[in-house]
Amino acid sequence: EYDGTPVDRASAGVLMEPKCDNNLSAWEFEACKFMSHQAFSNWKVKLLVNALSAMNAPVDLSCVRCPSEARHRAGYSPRHNRIWMCANRLWNPFEFRRVLTHELVHAFDFARAKIEPTNCVHMACTEIRAWNLSGECDLWTKWFTFLGQDMINQKQRCVKEGALASLLDSDRCQDLHLARGALEEAWQPCWKDHWPFTTKPDLDTRWRDNPMLS
Output the CA–CA distances (angstroms, integers) from residue 45 to 48, 126, 141, 187, 211, in the order listed.
Answer: 5, 17, 17, 24, 11
Which of the residues 28, 103, 127, 136 is marked catalytic?
A: 103
DSSP string over 96-153? HHHHHHHHHHHHHHHHHS---TT-HHHHHHHHHHHHHHSSTT-TTTSHHHHTTS-HHH
Q: Which residues pair with 63 in a beta bridge?
A: 20, 85
Known catalytic membership, residue 17: no
Output the CA–CA distances (angstroms, integers) from residue 172 to 117, 122, 123, 168, in the order listed.
Answer: 8, 12, 10, 8
The three-state secondary structure class of 64 is strand
Q: Which residues pair with 202 in a beta bridge?
A: none
The three-state secondary structure class of 80 is coil
Question: In this structure, are residues 63 and 20 in contact, taking their beta carbons and an 8 Å threshold?
Answer: yes
Give me the active site residues, please.
103
